[in-house]
Structure 1
Amino acid sequence: MGIRNDLNLFAEPEAQYLPRWEELTPEEREMAELQAYADECERQAALADFEDIPEAFWDDSDLDEGEVDAMDIS
């Protein structure tokens, strides 16, 4: 299970407080890889929930649940 060294796992704003990839111990690298993998699995599962809905059941009114008129910019 390898990971590319150029993969920036710490791209979020709070990353400035995290150590660089090269400064991590092998155990820390493995934990970072596992966390990145878990995050990606969670993201893919969330996307799959929407992919299972046939387009015939899509309804623009679902987007209007907040009842905000897009043209009303007052």
Structure 2
Amino acid sequence: MVSRSFQSKHALGVMRRLLPKINLVAKVMSECSRSALACFAITPALTAHNGLCRMPIKRIQKMLMHFFTLLSMR
């Protein structure tokens, strides 16, 4: 059985890795809060990709740039 302190350290590590990505997504979400469509379209795209934890920040940024390019073309 895994000790509680190991579990909390692991959770802390996961959170530390996730935080910049969550901040990035939150920033984008707040920027496109004027457009409900943007929020609905972007959330499943981010969560569907094996979760944010395994996705590199550069990839997230690339996805967001692509998304905004598509959005601006409408």
What TM-score do the two structures reach when normalised by structure 2?
0.36
Larger helix share, 1 or 2: 2
TM-score with structure 1 setting the length: 0.36
Q: Which has the higher contact order (CA 8 A, sep 6+)?
A: 2
Structure number with larger C-alpha Rg? 1
